[in-house]
Amino acid sequence: MTLTLPTYVSTKYVGTAADFRNVKVDRSGAVRSEPFITNITAAALSDVVVGLVPFQKGARILLNASNVAVTDLDTDSDLTLDFGYTYYDSTLGTSDPNAFATQVTTGQTGGAITFDEITATTATGFVAAADGWITMTIGVGGTSYTTGIVAGSIAMCYDN
């Protein structure tokens, strides 16, 4: 069993297992938008995992109703970002850090992110097999990072 927590988390969370208990859960099936803002320091190294929003088992993530934007995160032109999910306990589910978007270059100049990995599974929404985080991974390759922000909101629901 491997327990995984992100390196950076949204300012409203603390980066511990307590975050899963503190996330808003509405079992009525209503869609809720969970806003986030995460500060990333220039000291970030490649392959850093940024936790955007935690979720509990059963969360359905609605990509077409979610939005993410980043500031310019590097001073060169090789930084890439992946968006996906990371389960807290690896025995309960298989994480996929690039399930929603892969090798996004928006972090090189800043701007809005489009989730490009629309498949039959993700088009109807990802359903969580266990507790975890919607994540952004700063890819290998960038060497000149700058302090920046990733912000937005993730739409999710918990069907009853």
2, part of any domain: no
pLDDT of residue 25: 84
Q: Return the pLDDT at 1.
A: 63
CATH number at residue 150: 2.60.120
Cβ distance 65 to 154 under 8 Å? Answer: no
Tokens of 29: 């099936």
Residue 132 pairs in a beta bridge with: 55, 87
Cα four-point dihedral sign 42, 44, 75, 12: negative
**CA 2, CA 127: separation in Å to the nearest integer?**
21
* The model's pTM: 0.88
HSE value, Cβ hemisphere, 13 Å, CA-based, for 91: 3
**For 80-150, where are the alpha helices, taking DSSP H only?**
120-123
pLDDT at 85: 92
Quote the pLDDT of residue 123: 52
Task: Kindly report the backbone phi and psi dihedral angles of residue 151, in degrees, each rounded to the nearest multiple of 5, phi listed first.
Answer: -145, 160
pLDDT score at 8:
87
Q: What is the pLDDT of residue 120?
A: 45
Total domains in the chain come to 1
* Structural tokens at position 74: 């590097």
Averaged over successive runs of 10 residues, the pLDDT of the chain (160 residues) comes to 83 88 83 90 72 93 87 83 90 89 86 67 73 87 77 86
Domain containing 114: what range?
8-158
